[in-house]
């Protein structure tokens, strides 16, 4: 299983772009990367998923370099409501049991 490292915390201000990087040096060929957002007393919520290069949806972008040993979640123009914990998940598409979450990054958005 991939060992995952994320920054423990980050601060930002409203309107700024935030980039959170996840390191997964021993990612396997069949592993894909997913990011989740979690608010207090709630379960994590899906943000974005990718395998390589760049993926974009209505709320975020995910950048994955060619070696796939890291990935960066980009949140454009954050607001106070984006204050949450963000988790990186590396999982194998051939085995649901082969998955590892990072320990999470607490993002605090200030006015």
Query: Contact positions toward other proteins, by CB under 8 A?
Result: 1, 32, 34, 36, 41-46, 49, 87, 89, 91, 93-97, 99-104
Query: Is-contact 34 48, C-beta < 8 A?
Result: yes
Rg (CA), the chain: 13
DSSP state letters, 19-56: EEEEE-TT--TTEEEEEEEE-TTS--EEEEEESSEEEE
CB of 79 to other proteins, least distance (A): 23
What SS3 class is residue 65? coil
Residue with smaller CB distance to other proteins, 81 or 94: 94
Residue with smaller CB distance to other proteins, 9 or 16: 9
Residue with smaller CB distance to other proteins, 97 or 111: 97
Residue with smaller CB distance to other proteins, 1 or 28: 1
CB of 93 to other proteins, least distance (A): 4
Residue 12 DSSP symbol:
E
Residue 30: name the closest of 13, 56, 52 by CA.
52
CB of 111 to other proteins, least distance (A): 27
CB of 13 to other proteins, least distance (A): 26
């Amino acid at each position: 299983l991939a060992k995952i490292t994320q920054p423990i915390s980050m601060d930002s201000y409203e309107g700024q772009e935030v980039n959170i990087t996840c390191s997964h040096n021993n990612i396997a060929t069949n592993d894909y990367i997913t990011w989740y957002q979690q608010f207090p007393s709630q379960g994590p919520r899906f943000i974005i998923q990718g395998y390589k290069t760049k993926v974009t949806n209505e709320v975020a972008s995910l950048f994955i370099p060619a070696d796939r040993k890291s990935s960066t979640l980009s949140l454009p123009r954050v607001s106070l409501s984006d204050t949450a914990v963000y988790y990186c998940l590396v999982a194998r598409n051939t085995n649901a049991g082969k998955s590892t979450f990072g320990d999470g990054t607490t993002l605090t958005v200030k006015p």
